[in-house]
Amino acid sequence: MSINNTSAIILNVTPYRETSCILKLFSPEYGLITGIAKGVKKLKSRREPLERGFHINLTVYLKNNRDINTVSNIHIIDFFPGIRNNLQKTAIRDITFELIITSIINYNPQKELYSILLKFLSQLEQLSEIDILYILLWRFFLKFADISGFGPDFSQCIYCGTPVKESSYLLINKGGISCRNCCKNDFRNSDFLIPERLLYVLASSILQYDNIPAFGSAELLRITRLAVSYCRYHLDIHREFKSLNFLENLFLSETNCTCLHIGF
């Protein structure tokens, strides 16, 4: 067994017996880990119950060949109240969490992805314009694909090599885009279309908040589905994303959604 202090993002919390809970954690040193926090619910010193999305410090007692480790000394660094109190933001956050839970291998260091996730959460916390929140989500997926080795090339048409400056089709299985002239297969379908204004936003290295195009609800959902489909294909994830269905329900019932709850 080794005893390690680390920081982590809580990706999921499952109550366990009367006073404990099982945490699914994402940490820079160990990637995805599952830990049982014993007695954590009866601590009088803890004002905030542990929840999904918290950024914490903790001690992990790693045991070889164990699926569940013991964790203790949990201190909350940030509980991101701006995300926590906003259903739209929690829905967007949960899609990134589900991507990590379904694809990251346990106990592998993930320092780059961890810092991208932390930056994403702090931007999600601070910003409020709905179109910007979704662009943050899509850019997160793009960075995730890049560091996982299957980032799509948006610079030129995969067939004719022409620099792409207009709306194009994402060819999921080929990891690139096709101009309208070349795209003659099943992907010539509006589900796979990347609008010109979005290509520009995704390709720029720094996001300019004052030059963000507006998307309607249907378009926000369509492009989010496309981003998830792209990663699911390349990571060989067969199950549907529950967080995506949650988002769809959220859009369908925007005025009456307080009863919605999601569990991975």
The DSSP secondary structure of 103-164, one letter per residue, reads HPPBT---HHHHHHHHHHHHHHHH---HHHHHHHHHHHHHHHHHHHT---EEEEETTT-PBP
Asked if 66 and 8 count as a contact pair (C-beta separation under 8 A), the reply is no
CA separation for the pair 104, 31 (Å, rounded): 7
Q: State the minimum distance, in angstroms, from the CB of residue 173 to Zn ion.
A: 17
Rounded to the nearest whole angstrom, what is the least distance from the CB of residue 186 to Zn ion in the complex?
Answer: 16
By C-beta, is 23 or 179 nearer to Zn ion? 179
Smallest separation (angstroms) from Zn ion to the CB of 171: 11
Cβ nearer to Zn ion, comparing 71 with 199 = 199
Q: How far apart are CA 11 and CA 47, in angstroms?
A: 20
Q: Is the distance from CB of 153 to CB of 142 less than 8 angstroms? A: no
Listed in sequence order, the residues at least 6 apart from 184 whose beta carbon sits closer than 8 Å to its beta carbon are: none
Q: Which residues bind Zn ion (CB under 5 A)?
A: 157, 159-160, 179, 182
Tell me the closest approach of the beta carbon of residue 234 to Zn ion, in angstroms.
Answer: 22
> Of 187 and 251, which CB lies nearer to Zn ion in the complex structure?
187
The residue among 77 and 160 lying less far from Zn ion, judged by its C-beta, is 160
